[in-house]
Amino acid sequence: MFNEVLSLILQRSCPLCDRATAKYLCVDCQRRLERDQLTNPTEFWQQRIFAWGDYTDTLKRTLAALKYDRHPELGILLGEALARSWIAAKLQSGKLTVIPIPMHLEKQKQRGYNQAELISRAFCQMTGDSHHPSGLRRVRATEALFGLSPQDREQTLTQAFDLGKGIKQNRPVLLIDDIHTTGATARAAIQVLHRHQIRVLGIAVVAKPRFEKR
């Protein structure tokens, strides 16, 4: 995994525009990405959602490159960006258990990695929080969700997760995902943790659509 990331970085061509670059993105794309950063990442904190950026334009393209175009190194870029804004927001003083939302296993096998885990790993390296990539497990296939009504979808999702290993019950959990859309996935994950008397501080995501589409 590390070598794969390294070799991708050493190619040094911007994954969004193919221009040469020494960084994850070229200067222009990086600047454009920063335009999608929310001025107030705690805008949704009342609902316990912390978001780095608006799911639009360059951030949307960066996430697509991370997920569908084999650019795992962008998970580091986005995880560090999320960590910087999280640290600046000072929402938590003690150490957290950080758990990425797990992917459906078949999907992860195809992709080779879980983008939420890459983001949370980079996040923890910067914040010093405790990273638990296997804190939650997917226990059933949820690929058929698209055809379901919102209620059925929610019901299917609550059975989608199980508690993994090594979670300290006395430490609050911060969930991490790449994007927060309907919130059904996050709610299902939180339910499982609550069922095991684990406190959940909230969920931190790289992108959140500002206006929910129904």
Q: What's the CA gap between 11 and 56, in Å, rounded? A: 27
CB-nearer residue toward Zn ion: 26 or 206: 26
Is 30 or 108 the residue whose CB approaches Zn ion more closely?
30
Q: For Zn ion, how many residues bind (rule: CB under 5 A)?
A: 5
Please give, one letter per residue, the 3-state secondary structure of 105-171. HHHHHHHCCCHHHHHHHHHHHHHCCEECCCCEEECCCCHHHHHCCHHHHHHHHHCCEEECCCCCCCC
For residue 17, give Cα distances in angstroms to 26, 36, 55, 203, 211.
8, 17, 19, 31, 27
Site for Zn ion contains 65 (CB under 5 A): no
Residue with Cβ nearer Zn ion (25 or 189): 25
Q: Please state the closest distance from residue 30 (CB atom) to Zn ion, in A.
A: 8
Q: How far is the CB of 71 from Zn ion (least distance, A)?
A: 12
Q: How far apart are CA 28 and CA 199, in angstroms?
A: 41
Q: How far is the CB of 56 from Zn ion (least distance, A)?
A: 17
Report the residue number, 35 or 199, with the smaller CB distance to Zn ion: 35
Nearer to Zn ion, 11 or 169 (CB): 11
Whose Cβ is closer to Zn ion: residue 65's or residue 186's? 65
Exposure of 77 in the CB half-sphere (CA atoms within 13 A): 21
Provide the 8-state DSSP code for 97. E
Minimum distance from residue 29 beta carbon to Zn ion (Å): 3
Residue 7: count other Cβ atoms within 10 Å of its Cβ: 10
Shortest Cβ 112–Zn ion spacing (Å): 23
Q: How far is CA 50 from the centre of its chain?
A: 11
Q: Please list every residue from 2 through 41 that binds Zn ion, using CB under 5 A.
A: 14, 16-17, 26, 29
Q: How far is the CB of 118 from Zn ion (least distance, A)?
A: 20
| Chain positions contacting Zn ion, by CB under 5 A | 14, 16-17, 26, 29
